[in-house]
Amino acid sequence: MSTFTDELKRKDIRIGLVPTMGYLHEGHLSLFQLLEGRCDLKAASIFVNPIQFGAGDDLDKYPRDEIRDVELLESVGCELVFAPSSDEMYPADFQTYVNVEELSKPLCGKFRPDHFRGVATIVLRLFNITGCSMAAFGLKDYQQARVIEQMTRDLNLSVELAFGETVRESDGLAMSSRNKYLSKKDRELAALIPKSLEWVKEQAASGVSNYSEIVAGMREILESKPGVEIQYIEAVNPQTLEFQSEVGEGVQILIAVYIGGTRLIDNVRISMSGVKRLV
């Protein structure tokens, strides 16, 4: 892949990359629109990265369908797919890791200790292997987006980043490859997540700015039916991801829940003047 992309770069062909773990949905595919007109060749990677999964995570059962993925990628104008094996990417003596220290600690980092170290390491390597000039990521994984943004700046990478709004199902559930795990009943329960976030937006628009009130209200909605186990609901500074008790100029509300053994995350930006976009 490096030999091929080196050749492209010598011809001044700018590569735009969408790194994925495969089992693609509309959320992934929408990211290719962000590359439009800003690069010469659209590329994707498909790689279920073992080092970002912890013990007890769903590495082994993570859904895969590479043939369908490639068809979907072709349909959105993606011309190059990099889909390496784990053995190729992690030879026995592999031992170099990138850690974005502060941003990796809170939120999901509390429950998945080496997750963002694994994400930062593979993303850097995918940037290096493809030599991409730009890359796009989804905002459903908000903490991941901040980790990658910070790494790109701290390590002086010459990769332009673009972040895409979360794409949602008709009932508001954020698209995720992991939604496949949900039973019919769990899928119905999952709609409580976007419902709780919509409620937060309304509260913010009507002037509620207190963290405790917001969390209590969300908790009430999520627990209105049995089956949703809240891992965390947090209100943080959108840049530093530090706890923020007042909405003020803008606060990111992040949530992680378990439904029937499936871990789902989502988030929303709120401010006193209503909802704000990250980018």
Which residues, including other chains, have CB under 8 Å from residue 87's CB and lie 6 or more apart?
Answer: none
Q: Does 208 bind a copy of itself (CB under 8 A)?
A: no
DSSP run (H or E) holding 214: helix 211-222
- Identified binder of a copy of itself from the candidate list 35, 124, 222, 268, rule CB under 8 A: 124
**From the CB of 250, what's the least distance to a copy of itself, in Å?**
17
**From the CB of 97, what's the least distance to a copy of itself, in Å?**
5
State both tokens at 246. Answer: 């007042």
**From the CB of 244, what's the least distance to a copy of itself, in Å?**
16
Residues numbered 130 to 189 that lie near a copy of itself (CB under 8 A) are 131, 150-151, 154-158
Q: Does 93 bind a copy of itself (CB under 8 A)?
A: yes
Q: Which amino acid is at 106?
A: P
Q: Which stretch binds a copy of itself (CB under 8 A): 22-30, 128-136, 214-222, 227-235?
A: 128-136
**From the CB of 154, what's the least distance to a copy of itself, in Å?**
4
At what angle are helices 142-154 and 115-130 packed, to 10 degrees?
A: 60
The interface mask with a copy of itself, positions 240-269, x = CB under 8 A, is: x-----------------------------
Q: Does 224 bind a copy of itself (CB under 8 A)?
A: no
DSSP run (H or E) holding 81: strand 80-82
CA 189, CA 167: separation in Å to the nearest integer? 19
Residues numbered 19 to 78 that lie near a copy of itself (CB under 8 A) are none
State both tokens at 157. Answer: 């990478």
Q: Which stretch binds a copy of itself (CB under 8 A): 73-81, 100-108, 201-209, 243-251?
A: 100-108
The count of residues interacting with a copy of itself (CB under 8 A) is 30
DSSP state of 165: P
Active site residue 25: no
**From the CB of 147, what's the least distance to a copy of itself, in Å?**
9
DSSP state of 141: S
DSSP one-letter string for 39-59: -SEEEEEE---GGG--TTSST
- Identified binder of a copy of itself from the candidate list 94, 210, 248, 261, rule CB under 8 A: 94
Q: Which stretch binds a copy of itself (CB under 8 A): 36-44, 45-53, 97-105, 266-274?
A: 97-105
Q: Which of 25, 28, 146, 263 is catalytic?
A: 28
Give the residue from 72, 234, 64 showing the smallest Cα distance to 143: 234
DSSP run (H or E) holding 109: helix 108-111
The answer to whether residues 228 and 255 touch, using CB atoms and an 8 Å cutoff, is: no
Which residues, including other chains, have CB under 8 Å from residue 43's CB and lie 6 or more apart?
Answer: 15, 16, 17, 18, 78, 79, 80, 81, 82, 130, 132
- Using CB under 8 A, list all residues that contact a copy of itself: 2, 6, 10, 12, 93-103, 120-121, 124-125, 128-129, 131, 150-151, 154-158, 240
